[in-house]
Amino acid sequence: MPDPTTPTMYLAMIEPGSYLDFANPVPFSDRESIIEKGLLNSDGRISGRAQSAVRPISSLDFKRIVDLGLAENDASLPRIDLAESSLSLQDVGTPFAYEQDRDRVNYLGSRILRDRVFRRVVLRAYDQRCAVTGLRLINGGGRAEVEAAHIRPVEANGPDIVSNGLALSGTAHWMFDRGLISVTENLQILISRQANDIESVRSIINKSGCLLTPDRVPDRPHPHFLQWHRENRFKA
Question: How many alpha carbons fall within 13 Å on the CB side of residue 146?
Answer: 27
Q: What are phi and psi of 150, to 5 degrees?
A: -80, 135
- Average pLDDT (84-98) is 40
CB atoms closer than 10 angstroms to residue 226: 23
Q: Which sequence spans correspond to the domains of the chain?
A: 25-69, 71-232
- Average pLDDT (20-49) is 85
How many Å apart are CA 201 and CA 174, to the nearest integer? Answer: 12
Q: Could you tell me the pLDDT band of residue 9, with boundaries at 50, 70 and 90?
A: confident
Q: Could you tell me the pLDDT band of residue 220, with boundaries at 50, 70 and 90?
A: very high
Burial code (b: 16+ CB inside 10 Å, e: under 16) for 6-42 equals eeeeeeeeeeeeeebbebbebeeeeeeebbbeebeee
Q: Could you tell me the pLDDT band of residue 106, with boundaries at 50, 70 and 90?
A: low
Report percent pLDDT > 90 for the chain.
Answer: 45
- Average pLDDT (9-14) is 85
85 class by beta-carbon count within 10 Å (0-12 exposed, 13-18 middle, 19+ buried): exposed
Cis, peptide link before residue 78, omega less than 30° from 0: yes
How many Å apart are CA 52 and CA 48, to the nearest integer? Answer: 8
For residue 213, pLDDT beyond 80: yes
For residue 132, pLDDT beyond 90: yes
* Residue 211, C-beta contacts closer than 8 angstroms, at least 6 positions apart: 131, 132, 166, 183, 187, 188, 189, 221
Q: How high is the mean pLDDT of the chain?
A: 83
Judged by DSSP in three states, 183 sits in strand
Dump strand ranges (E) for the chain.
Answer: 147-150, 165-168, 181-183, 189-191
- Average pLDDT (199-228) is 95
pLDDT for position 39: 87
For residue 94, pLDDT beyond 80: no
User: Lowest mean pLDDT: which of 60-64, 148-152, 163-167, 225-229?
Assistant: 60-64
For residue 105, pLDDT beyond 70: no
DSSP category for residue 3? -
How many Å apart are CA 119 and CA 167, to the nearest integer? Answer: 8
pTM score, whole prediction: 0.71
